Structure 1
Amino acid sequence: MPPSTGHVRTVTEAYLARHPDERASLTMLFDVLAGTDDPTSRKTLPAHVTCSAIVINGERDVLHILHKASGKLLAPGGHNEPSDQRLRDAALRELHEEAGIPPSAVVPLVGHEDIPLDIDVHAIDANPSKNEPAHHHVDFRWAFQLVTDQAVTLQEEEVDGYQWRPFATTSSPTVRAKLAQLTSSLPQPDHQEDAVAATTARQTAAQRRRHIAVIPCRWGASRFPGKPLALLGDKPLLWHVHQRCLEAKRLDGAIVATDDERIEAACRELGIDCIRTGEHLTGTDRVAEVAERLPADGYINVQGDEPFISPTAIDDVSEALLYTPPGTLAVNAYTELVNVGAVLDHNVVKVVVTAGGEAMMFSRQPIPYPKGDRPKYLRQLGLYGFAGEALQRFRQLQQGPLERAEGVEMLRFVEHGHAVQMVPVVDDGVAVDTPEDLARVERLFDQYGRSARTRGTDRGITSSGTRARSPESSRYPF
């Protein structure tokens, strides 16, 4: 018989004894438990219980399965069946069915034999083909250690690939946070490897990731050499940018791309995925090399010098990339400039946008010139989205005179007649172009609290102290 309501309640209360601050977030679960329907049945709406298996291998990587239905990388898991007497049994069965890993190949994480690592409530879209309305899953996530050298054998009907991913890039932010707390108590890897090289080597054409953030970083910036490793608080700039990417909800991971061994070594120490590239003219050329080696449906280029970039803005670009019109090779985020100093600052790239939302011109000069009416000035954030084929087209194009003069890489598409769709977002982030900019960012960092920047819990808190949100115009009905 399936897990009883009493069993679900007992497990939940044991979990909340460890995480009392999460009780309010599980109100929907308690509403289900107060009813008369089976809380584990998929027919129980508007919410029911599911179970997942968080499997950790000897290198402290977490197994992720690419599900065909959602196109997302998730832990193996799903609905309970009548044969599952306990919630943990459901997680083990799903692990075996989806990944071919038998229960005998894993053991519960110490201290989590009867208590899940995480309980998460997430929305599920309506599925007309199954006559299922929109509802919620209350997912009990059980943690296991892989104890045998067990190959992953996929259930081809429902899943399309898999990855072993480091703790820092685990797809679920709540699981990621709890794993970080357990790091010191987990067994150490048998040998130390370059985590990025291992991750990259495990990628195959079948193991596509939907959208990933790529953070191009180079050492030799003329105005600020070594900028990616300049400290903000007690962490380098690239770490803060990487954290903002991990907070984005639509991405399946984030990776630093660099040609510098010092940046690569720092990423290894911080547990950040990194890929070593050749030397390139621009960051987008570097992202294009990553696209050749790391399969994904889309790549979000996030500048490595914006520690306060809004995760919501990153999600907006990812969403816009799904709806690009035919012939459009890139999407590019922009915000309105209200500060006169920023309008005049040559480090701030301005953009003029057509009535159809496409980029007409980029410049470091204030454009358009205010001869008649006072214009609205727009700043391009350098937050780009591309499909892989668009990146390869970018590398095939020659730099034109405008790109060489302005030093703005998106002009390469514009000069060759390719559309760049501009995406309005809410983001007050501050780019660090010079040591003076870093000093200004440090003041903001201290003013609005280091904890809000390092906990990874507040999505899109901007440098102005406001919470970023998606504007009405960011739904992209192109």
Structure 2
Amino acid sequence: MKVIAVIPARYNSTRFPGKLMEVLGNKTVISTTYQNVVETGLFDEVFVATDSEIIFDEISKNGGKAVMTGQHETGSDRIAEAVKDIDCDIVINVQGDEPFLKKEPLRQLIEVFSEDHAQQISLASLKIKLNDLAEIQNPNNVKVITDKSGFALYFSRSVIPFHRDLADDVQYYKHVGVYAFRKEALLRFASMEMSPLEISERIECIRYLENGMKIKLVETDFVGVGIDTPEDLERAKRLI
């Protein structure tokens, strides 16, 4: 089973344009992420997929592998274009603005496919418990609910499940945007049109669910620093 990692990297982020080229320690955010993924030793190859010549040149000049793509609505669509001619079985999508992702969650995602002998799982991803009410209600945190086997039922920026009876003990989970795809499932995803639900929530996983594809969620306790705002960057600088 050949496993590769692809880091989708868009320069003009809506909330924080140019964030991937901000300096973190002595390297840019995107170079830090790329190096950390390579150093896990889990992947046969690691690529950055971008529509930005600035990011392409940043990775290339530092000895990394980058692929130029067109413009896309989602990271998965970008990765699908990047990998269509690359020989691989499993593709791990690591967000370019998550520089501190650890090895163990990535290993767990790969293991999902190693154990899926019937090849029923199209996509695996991560979830983490949410306990703070403000974090649960924050629409920037995508919530996920699963069945008893850990397969996704739905993703939403709203609070799900709705806590009607406060006497009941309900656990909330945040979806961590790290994905592991079967290559054929990823290419199939890219051939499908966005649905009104996906467009409304701005959550690409919904496209998989609406087309009957299985998503396995793996629980993690890893809390990284996603760099979505200048304040997040300052937090990451303090961490590094």
If the length of structure 2 is used for normalisation, what is the TM-score?
A: 0.93
RMSD: 1.6
Q: Distance in 1 between matches of 2:40 and 2:98?
A: 15
Answer yes or no: is 1:403 the counterpart of 2:195: no
Q: Distance in 2 between matches of 1:305 and 1:341?
A: 22
Q: Distance in 2 between matches of 1:305 and 1:285?
A: 17
* Amino acid across the alignment from 2:122: L
* Amino acid across the alignment from 2:197: L
Matched position secondary structure for 1:390 = helix
Q: Deviations over 1:124-172 (max 9, x none)?
A: xxxxxxxxxxxxxxxxxxxxxxxxxxxxxxxxxxxxxxxxxxxxxxxxx
Q: How many residues align?
A: 237
Change (3 A) 1:270 1:436: same
Structure 2: where are the runs of 5+ without partners?
none
Aligned residues with identical type, % of pairs: 36
Contact 1:347 1:433 (8 Å CA) reproduced: no
Partner residue in 2 for 1:424: 219
Partner residue in 1 for 2:235: 440
Q: Deviations over 1:82-118 (max 9, x none)?
A: xxxxxxxxxxxxxxxxxxxxxxxxxxxxxxxxxxxxx
Q: Deviations over 1:359-411 (max 9, x none)?
A: 11111122212222242111111111111111111012111111101111111
Contact 1:251 1:315 (8 Å CA) reproduced: no
Answer yes or no: is 1:367 the counterpart of 2:160: yes
Answer yes or no: is 1:332 the counterpart of 2:125: yes
Q: Distance in 2 between matches of 1:291 and 1:322?
A: 20
Q: Distance in 2 between matches of 1:345 and 1:442?
A: 24
Partner residue in 2 for 1:246: 38
Matched position secondary structure for 2:89 = strand
Answer yes or no: is 1:412 the counterpart of 2:197: no
CA drift of 1:443 comes to 2.2
Contact 1:308 1:430 (8 Å CA) reproduced: yes
CA drift of 1:311 comes to 1.5
Partner residue in 2 for 1:261: 53
Partner residue in 1 for 2:27: 235
Q: Distance in 2 between matches of 1:364 and 1:243?
A: 31
Q: Distance in 2 between matches of 1:223 and 1:424?
A: 28
Answer yes or no: is 1:356 the counterpart of 2:149: yes
Q: Distance in 1 between matches of 2:5 and 2:156?
A: 25
CA drift of 1:342 comes to 2.4
Answer yes or no: is 1:391 the counterpart of 2:183: no
CA drift of 1:444 comes to 2.4
CA drift of 1:329 comes to 1.3
Contact 1:348 1:379 (8 Å CA) reproduced: yes
Partner residue in 2 for 1:213: 5
Q: Distance in 2 between matches of 1:431 and 1:437?
A: 7
Q: Distance in 2 between matches of 1:350 and 1:270?
A: 36
Partner residue in 2 for 1:345: 138
Q: Deviations over 1:37-70 (max 9, x none)?
A: xxxxxxxxxxxxxxxxxxxxxxxxxxxxxxxxxx
CA drift of 1:301 comes to 0.5
CA drift of 1:286 comes to 1.0
Partner residue in 1 for 2:76: 284
Matched position secondary structure for 2:84 = helix
Q: Distance in 1 between matches of 2:236 and 2:137?
A: 19
Q: Distance in 2 between matches of 1:302 and 1:230?
A: 18
Find the partner of 2:175 among 371, 380, 404.
Answer: 380
Q: Distance in 2 between matches of 1:341 and 1:433?
A: 17
Contact 1:248 1:315 (8 Å CA) reproduced: no
If the length of structure 1 is used for normalisation, what is the TM-score?
A: 0.48
Q: Distance in 1 between matches of 2:230 and 2:155?
A: 25
Matched position secondary structure for 1:366 = coil
Q: Deviations over 1:256-284 (max 9, x none)?
A: 00011011111122222111111111100
Matched position secondary structure for 1:296 = coil
Contact 1:317 1:383 (8 Å CA) reproduced: no
Matched position secondary structure for 1:402 = helix
User: 1:22-421 alignment to 2 at 5 Å?
Assistant: 210-324=2-116, 326-372=119-165, 373-421=168-216
Partner residue in 2 for 1:64: none
Q: Which has the higher contact order (CA 8 A, sep 6+)?
A: 2
Contact 2:38 2:46 (8 Å CA) reproduced: yes
